[in-house]
Amino acid sequence: MSKEFKRTFFVCLLAVLLVISNLIGLKYTNFLDITIGVDFVTYPFTFLCTLLIMNLGSKRDAYRGILVACVIQLLITISYVIATSLGSQSLMPDAATYVNQVFKVNELNILASVLAFVASHSLLIYIYDNFTRYNKELYGLAIGLLGALFLNSIIFLGISLHMYEPIYIINMVLSNVIIDIVMILIIIILFYILKEKRARVVTFKKDENTICNDLSTEEIIESKKETKVATRKTSQTKNAKKTNNYRSVNSKTKTPKKTSNGKQVKKSKDNK
């Protein structure tokens, strides 16, 4: 599979995981005697998708993926609110009440989720990018994921549970952090399994003292093709120069000879 296909797949998966997490996040369960939303099964993997998009492309691609996921979430929320607000007909039994019981959309929770999503993923990209510049990718993953998940819990729970007591919100944040530590280990393992493997290559330029590290295999092949084309052009120019020099030398050597009296020596064709 090409890098473009993988990047598109993870962008779509990022949007799907965000939508599913907002649908199932209203349910809370007890996990290891800790009260936590069931979206811990899906939402942490959105950070894995962002890291893989950044690995396959760049920071700009990761930010675009975040924007696409937010737009899809908002469009789904708007269309769902409009559809459920329409009146029902009387000829057939209306099953919308059962749908509303399963998928209760709270506009405030969706807004809190989108804000937490953008802030936490942007923080992850910033931390991970700065650590990878100094060849400390593992530290960037661990610190970035921990900070992003903690920030996401603070923003989302602080907005969605604003009517509750602060002690309850703090307990919920701490319980989310405990589960997030377990999920961070899983995300790091999956990231190193699914990431695009890059070959470490060092290339020097004559004009500029620059070094290019960590190129992918496709980039290596493209660079080799470019170098071959450049070498062919240089060889062709050298051969052209040699031929031009050879012609100029021959033209100079074919000048007519002169005698001591200053008269040119002419060879007659008919020497009898």
What does the domain layout of the chain look like in residue ranges? 3-84+102-194, 199-241
Weakly modelled stretches of the chain, pLDDT under 50 = 199-214, 255, 257-272
Amino acid letter for position 234: T
Tell the CATH topology of 3-84+102-194: Arp2/3 complex 21 kDa subunit ARPC3 (1.10.1760)
For 244-272, write each residue's pLDDT tens digit: 665 555 555 554 544 444 444 444 444 44
Amino acid letter for position 201: V
Nearest-angstrom CA–CA distance, 209 and 267:
62
H/E run at residue 248? helix 217-253
- pLDDT at site 238: 64
For 29-77, write each residue's pLDDT tens digit: 776 677 777 788 888 999 999 999 999 988 999 999 999 999 999 998 8
Whole-model pTM: value is 0.68
